Amino acid sequence: MKLRLFPQESAGLDLLSRMAVQAVRGTATLSEALGAESAEFPRLAEELHTLEAETTELHFALMTQMRTSFINPLPREDLYDLSLILLTVMERLDSAAEIISLYKLTNVSRRAAEQLEVLGRQSELTVAAMRTLASLEDLEDYWIEMLRLSKRVERTHRMWLAELMNDHKALSYIRHRDLADQLAAASKELRRVGTYVGNILVRES
């Protein structure tokens, strides 16, 4: 029988995992935008706006659930903090889509696709982690893998910026850097989820 450190009530964790699923969907939409014609950018940006709005609703639903439920799967502060970080991830992805649309960014560096591949993996791992938080099963591996992936993103971000300096004039550099920074920031927020989970593991060990 698996040891459970927290009560069986799982509504809060279900909401957190649904928020992480939104990040998976967001990275997929951004990947589509990289290969799309500029005429498709407004539609894809609107899809990200919708995903961000849905994530906000999930955040509010979690707050309501915490207030109305006597037993929560984690301390309320943990649920709220994790939810807020996941919401910030979606805000970053939404901003990236808006940048592509507003600036009509085409011929984006292959580094963007590399970043989105890692972001997608981080998001998928986070979906699974949120679903198993109640038992803390296999979460040490999650914590370590999120750290590894985030370091990969940081290295790719540095290479991307160096290439932009060489290949773009000032205005174009600023626009492409804005996109690069938003993707790096989204990855950093996902790393924060992993770090927060690590704190929970240490606290409950």
* pLDDT of res. 71: 66
Query: Whole-model pTM?
Result: 0.91
What average pLDDT does this structure show over 173-184?
A: 96
CA pair distance 1, 43, nearest whole angstrom: 49
Per the CB < 8 A criterion, the answer to whether 105 and 175 are in contact is yes
pLDDT number for residue 147: 92
Q: Is the pLDDT of residue 3 over 50?
A: no
Give the pLDDT confidence score for residue 1 in this predicted structure.
35
Q: Is 127 exposed, middle or buried (0-12, 13-18, 19+ CB in 10 A)?
A: middle
**pLDDT band, very low/low/confident/very high, at 11 (cuts 50, 70, 90):** confident
Closest residue by Cα to residue 142 from 125, 154, 130: 125
Per-residue pLDDT reduced to its tens digit, 47-99? 999 999 999 999 999 999 888 876 666 788 999 999 999 999 999 999 999 99
How much is the pLDDT for 9? 58
- List phi, psi (to 5°) of 71: -115, 120
How far apart are the C-alpha atoms of 145 and 198, rounded to whole Å?
Answer: 11
